[in-house]
Amino acid sequence: MNKIYLIGRLVADPELSTTSSGINSCRFRIAVTRPHSKDESDFFTIQTWRGLADNCSKYLKKGSLCSVCGYLQNYSFEKNGEKRTTTQIIAEEVEFLNPANSKKTAQPELTPVQGDSLPF
């Protein structure tokens, strides 16, 4: 089983991009406070696709609180001739947790979007 649930705050504004085949993708990083410690956090890269990507780029901003449900994905790449491996979270659901009257981000009047199937 490969399932992960996180609640955290965005450390920067989300980045929306489009693949060469026209599929929208949104990537953002969240900080999640470690249990039993308010001074330590872990940082996770979240990847969303299609309609979920559109909503995340529209409604999330730096500092926004959100919950993420998805799965872990490892991938390898080469940088400066050195093979590297990294892990990211592919989000299937994202909920926007800031209150409707929050000044940090507008709260949408919609239900969370289920993630669409991946482009590969």
Closest alpha carbon to 115 in 69, 52, 55 = 52
* 65-114 tens-digit pLDDT: 999 999 999 989 999 999 999 999 999 999 999 865 555 444 444 444 55
Residue 22 in this model has a pLDDT that exceeds 70? yes
Q: Enter the pTM of the model.
A: 0.78
Q: What is the DSSP letter of 20?
A: T
Q: Which residues contact 82 (CB under 8 A, 6 or more apart)?
A: none
* Predicted confidence band of residue 118 (pLDDT cuts 50, 70, 90): low
CA distance 108 to 60: 10
CA distance 31 to 6: 9
The mean per-residue pLDDT over the stretch 3-24 comes to 97
Task: Determine the pLDDT at residue 100.
Answer: 56
CA distance 95 to 73: 20
